[in-house]
A = this chain, B = another copy of it.
Amino acid sequence: MSQTTVSRALGGYPEVNPKTRARIVQAAEQFGYRPDKRARSLATGRSFNIGHVLTSRNKTELVNPIFGDFIGGLTETSSAVGYSLSLTLTEAAQEEAIYRKLKSEGAVDGVVLQLPRPNDPRIALLKEIGLPFVVHGRSTNVTTEYAWVDVNNRRAFERATQFLLDLGHTRIGLINGDETMDYAMRRRSGFEDTLKAAGVEADPQLMSRGFMTEDNGHAIARDFLSRPDRPTALLTSSVILAIGARRAIQEANLTMGKDVSLVCYDDDLSYLSNRQTVPVFTAVRSSVLLAGQEIAKMLIKQIEEPDSELSHVLLEAELVVGQSTGPVSKPFI
């Protein structure tokens, strides 16, 4: 059998006699033969890798809680169609250099961009160097066209806030993520605008932002709850923050869901389930694992059909009512 025929038989090309193909496939199986990925990459000009660049601004941020589930989603989908996920880590200052390198080395066929900020320069960069990409999230003020998958963060926080307003809460504390990130800005404006629409003035003293650790959730909630006009409800940007806030509530001898209501954003992380019959936390939920799957699918399509339109997916978070919310009970009556 010639090289060519084998390649075509295994590659699934049509112009090969079914009998020949069967024979080749059988032989390949028997001897455990598989086309060398390196040679294949060189010949086709494709690497069958999708890239993801992690930047280490600092150790706390290096590995964020959603990282595992997100990567899991990406990997699940890309593995199924023969791509693997290629991870690289770099200092934030080197990020541009890394993308250029990935491109010129031909190390990846496309990349996934995470945690965009407003006007994120990486988008223009990737367009310039011609590396296909999909953004997890959106970047405010970027007017050029790019593919993205995002949760409707603004709407999610509007719904969460409205839900608390409907229960009678007007003193609501916000414990948000890093507000230099686009997603956190959208959440905050969803929160503020809903309050305003209800004629409630947002108290800057009750709006915080920062790393989304259990510790921070605890510290901020404790601070909020120690104020004379303490909030009757808290809204947090993650389950981990909520767990910290719950600790602060309990330490203040208050009861969650009664004295203090708590709503959180829930990424539906597989190891931090909030999916009990009646969930512990009332939440706006959207699975980051699913987002990862969607992004991988979209990126691979873009790689394999470069002329197809760039697409966008806006996921809506669902509101799930759990045990952590209840009608307002005025603290000082």
Contact = CB atoms under 8 A, between A and B. Distances in A.
B89 A76 contact: yes
A13 interface: no
Contact of A37 (B62, B105, B215, B250): B105
Given A37-B105, A67-B68, A104-B34, A75 B60 contact: no
B38 A42 contact: yes
A304 interface: no
A71 B75 CA distance: 13
A221 to B, nearest CB: 14
A176 to B, nearest CB: 16
A280 B59 CA distance: 20
A160 interface: no
Interface string A69-112: 10110011001000011111110000000001100111100000
A106 B250 CA distance: 55
Interface residues of A, number: 59
A67 B272 CA distance: 13
A49 B64 CA distance: 24
Contacts of A38: 38, 41-42, 45, 47, 106
Contacts of A84: 86-88, 107
B63 A270 contact: yes
Interface in A94-134: 100-101, 104-107
Contacts of A212: 271
A331 interface: no
Contacts of A269: 63
Please state the number of chain copies in the assembly.
2
Interface in A46-72: 47, 49, 54, 56, 59-60, 62-65, 67-69, 71-72
Nearest to A86: B84
B107 A32 contact: no
A72 B56 CA distance: 10
Contacts of A207: none
A39 interface: yes
A107 B47 CA distance: 10
A139 interface: no
Nearest to A61: B270
Contact of A65 (B34, B76, B271): B271
Interface in A255-309: 269-273, 276, 280, 289
A36 interface: yes
21 contacts: A32-B104, A34-B105, A36-B105, A37-B106, A37-B107, A41-B41, A62-B72, A63-B71, A63-B269, A63-B270, A65-B271, A71-B71, A72-B89, A75-B88, A75-B89, A79-B88, A84-B86, A84-B107, A86-B87, A214-B273, A240-B271
